[in-house]
Amino acid sequence: MRLRNAVLAAASALALALAVPASATAVGGEFRYKYRNFLGEQLGALFDPAGRACVNLPEAGRSEPAYAPNNRTNSTATVFPEFDCEGDTYYVLRPGGRAGDRLLVRSVVFS
């Protein structure tokens, strides 16, 4: 009887663990950047972005990347000059860190 209860409890715990989806990590704060469009220089931002997932900056284009990233989140931001967080070139911004207008970015991932 005890063995049967123990097996039932273990199976129930396993089923519950598999049924609960993995929680998505959220980054608190705001990630700002500048970009240019037909109106001139604009300010873009990501609010409370997802963590551990690559985010392509929506306003960044092939010919006009975004620039001057400003990490106002509570996580480290790794910015890339290419889309999809690809390439060997990247720049790391600690929480509160910023870079100048010469740093071109198209994607970012938060850790």
76/14 Cα distance (integer angstroms): 34
CB under 8 A, 24+ apart: contacts of 35-44: 35/59, 35/60, 35/64, 35/65, 35/66, 35/67, 36/64, 37/64
- Kindly report, residue by residue over 6-23, the tens digit of the pLDDT: 444 444 444 444 443 444
| pLDDT category of residue 26 using cuts at 50, 70 and 90 | confident
Any idea which residue has 């720049």 for tokens? 91
Query: pTM for this one?
Result: 0.77
Q: Is 98 helix (H, G, I), strand (E, B) or coil?
A: strand
Question: Domains along the chain?
Answer: 29-110 (2.60.20)
